[in-house]
């Protein structure tokens, strides 16, 4: 059997991250993927909390202590930010799916808006939660 020989020069070169100038749209695309991964990890923690609640008072008290610690609250804050950022990023993609917002200035404004709105929503959620305790 003879294998075909591929010459490196014959294949097209595809530009990668090193070629393009970093932009808000690219950063929010990466952030959307990262927050999606964070949501998977956070959902595992929520499932563990639910298992602890179903396991009895001792397990639930331990889970509540962990969630109430500084590290636990930081994880919950980051999880809520991931949720808000992923949701707002999804809405941005929904707008694109409707065929709107492809102009360069609009794309950049929407990318910046995604970060600002998701941060504002996260802070608003935490203010409301902490104020009602």
Inside any domain, residue 65: yes
Average pLDDT value over all residues in the chain: 91
Q: What is the pLDDT of residues 61-117, one digit of tens each?
A: 999 999 999 999 999 999 999 999 999 999 999 999 999 999 999 999 999 999 999
pLDDT of residue 10: 60
Structurally, the chain folds into a number of domains equal to 1
Inside any domain, residue 16: no
Inside any domain, residue 78: yes
Number of helices (H), then strands (E), belonging to the chain: the values are 4, 0
CATH of the domain at 110: 1.20.1300.10
Query: With 70 as the cut, is the pLDDT of residue 4 above it?
Result: no
Answer for the pair 38, 74: CB distance below 8 angstroms, yes or no. Answer: no
pTM (predicted TM-score): 0.81
Inside any domain, residue 1: no
Range of 121's domain? Answer: 24-131
Exposure b/e, 28-55, CB count within 10 A at least 16 = b: beebbeebeebbeebeebeeebeebeee
Inside any domain, residue 10: no
């Amino acid at each position: 059997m003879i294998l075909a020989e591929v010459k490196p020069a014959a294949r097209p070169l595809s530009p990668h991250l090193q070629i393009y100038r970093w932009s808000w749209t690219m950063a929010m695309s990466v952030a959307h993927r990262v927050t999606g991964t964070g949501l998977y990890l956070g959902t595992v923690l929520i499932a563990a909390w639910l298992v602890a609640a179903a396991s009895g008072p001792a397990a639930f008290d331990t889970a509540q202590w962990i969630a109430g610690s500084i590290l636990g609250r930081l994880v919950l804050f980051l999880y809520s930010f991931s949720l808000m950022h992923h949701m707002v990023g999804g809405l941005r993609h929904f707008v694109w799916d409707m065929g709107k917002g492809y102009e360069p200035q609009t794309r950049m404004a929407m990318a910046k808006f995604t970060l600002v709105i998701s941060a504002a929503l996260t802070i608003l959620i935490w203010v409301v939660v902490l104020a009602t305790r």
